[in-house]
Amino acid sequence: MLFRRSGALATLAVLAALALAGCGSGSAPAPPPPAAPHGNPPIKVVTSTNVYGSIARAVGGDQVDVTSLINDPQADPHSYETTPGDAAKVATANVILYNGGGYDDFMERLVQSSGGKAVSIDVTALSGLDPTAGAGGADAASNPYFNEHLWYSLPTVQKVADQLATDFGAADPADADLFTTNAQAFKDKVANLLTKEQAIGAAHPGARVAVTEPVPGYLIQSAGLTDVTPPEFARAIEEDTDPPAAVLQQTLALFTNNPVSALILNAQTETPTTTQVEQAAQAAKIPVVMVTETLPAGVDDYITWMNSEIEALANALNGSPQ
């Protein structure tokens, strides 16, 4: 998968230059994380992406020290190359959290080879969803339905919060009640997000949308919308291949013949094909809603991020400016 966009690349270049300058500055190494309020060292948590890192921090608060191996909005978990430093972090972790389901295989390999004694949370296994079911279509009628982008499945995210509270409580019994309280507060916020998704469906039942990739599948399903994108198109883009010409034409026709209400585009993936589809939607005055696979630059909170995407979709269907 080819990740975008140009502005972020410039920022990365600046950050890289600063990092190199810092390497030669002779500055002292970073201090260890502060001890938790009760005096014990914080629980070491390693997550595959900053999405799961944000959830872990929401539940653990100051009692956890969270490291997300993927923080860069340009990084692709499908092709992420691990480092010896990543292996060391996993080997010394107390709790490990990753998506599973083929999304972040690098994390599963690190866990298997680490030799550590960390508690591992595989979100796919935790979800209770069947990864062999296949994506089919992303509309509400697709049942069974599995989409590897499980952070868009809000009931699954609530399960993750509960499991983190349980595992954090086992590692730090003195703060078990705090973790449970934090998890419930987080789940209540997720429930509000779910209400907002369902309100979209109530206002626009069965509204037809197109996607460039299956990333927002659970969002579409929960909102009661209908994804009419040819499955071959979305699958080709996700696998970083070119869809057949006939499939591309079928996709482009979604913006002219009985046009869809919105195009939901993965902002982290840009190819000539996705650009062509985006331009076709814009030419037809079809609203384009951007979603991402990791937290955008400048955002470190799952609830804030997901709320902004849900509101963007609602505004698009309501005819509000994006």
d(CA 44, CA 264): 36
Q: Look at the chain and count its residues.
A: 322
Under 8 Å between Cβ of 218 and 201? no
The first and second tokens of residue 242, run together, are 């070119």
pLDDT of 27 strictly over 90: no
Dihedral sign for Cα 52, 55, 129, 238, please.
negative
Return the closest-CA partner of residue 171 out of 118, 236, 98: 118
Domain boundaries, the chain: 37-192, 202-318
What average pLDDT does the chain have?
A: 87
Across residues 87-96, what is the average pLDDT?
96
Residues paired with 67 in a beta bridge: 46
CB atoms within 10 A of CB 16: 10
Across residues 218-235, what is the average pLDDT?
95
User: What's the confidence (pLDDT) of residue 123?
Assistant: 98
Under 8 Å between Cβ of 183 and 162? yes
Across residues 205-228, what is the average pLDDT?
96
What lies within 8 Å, CB to CB, of 179 at 6+ separation is: 59, 60, 63, 164, 165, 168, 169, 172
Q: In this structure, which topology does domain 202-318 adopt according to CATH?
A: Rossmann fold (3.40.50)
pLDDT tens digits, residue range 143-197?
Answer: 457 899 999 999 999 999 999 999 999 999 999 999 999 999 999 999 999 999 9
208-211 and 226-227 strand pairing = parallel
292, amino acid identity? T
Four-point Cα dihedral 92, 97, 99, 105, nearest 10? 10
User: What's the confidence (pLDDT) of residue 20?
Assistant: 37
Backbone angles phi, psi at 196, to 5 degrees: -65, -40
- Of 131-140, 161-170, 199-208, the poorest mean pLDDT is in 131-140
Q: Do domains 37-192 and 202-318 have the same CATH topology?
A: yes
d(CA 4, CA 231): 23
Return the higher-pLDDT residue of 121 and 22.
Answer: 121
Across residues 271-282, what is the average pLDDT?
97
User: What's the confidence (pLDDT) of residue 74?
Assistant: 78
User: What's the confidence (pLDDT) of residue 224?
Assistant: 95
CB atoms within 10 A of CB 194: 16
d(CA 288, CA 270): 14
User: What's the confidence (pLDDT) of residue 106?
Assistant: 95
pLDDT tens digits, residue range 302-322?
Answer: 999 999 999 999 999 998 554
Residues paired with 266 in a beta bridge: 291
> pTM of the predicted model, to two decimals?
0.85
pLDDT of 253 strictly over 70: yes
d(CA 98, CA 96): 7
d(CA 322, CA 316): 7
CB atoms within 10 A of CB 72: 16
CATH hierarchy code of domain 37-192: 3.40.50.1980
Across residues 279-300, what is the average pLDDT?
95
Return the closest-CA partner of residue 147 out of 212, 240, 219, 97: 219
Percentage of the chain exceeding pLDDT 70: 84
Task: Identify how many contiguous H helices and E strands the chain contains and give both numbers.
Answer: 12, 8
User: What's the confidence (pLDDT) of residue 60?
Assistant: 98
User: What's the confidence (pLDDT) of residue 13?
Assistant: 38
The first and second tokens of residue 178, run together, are 């705090």
d(CA 294, CA 71): 8
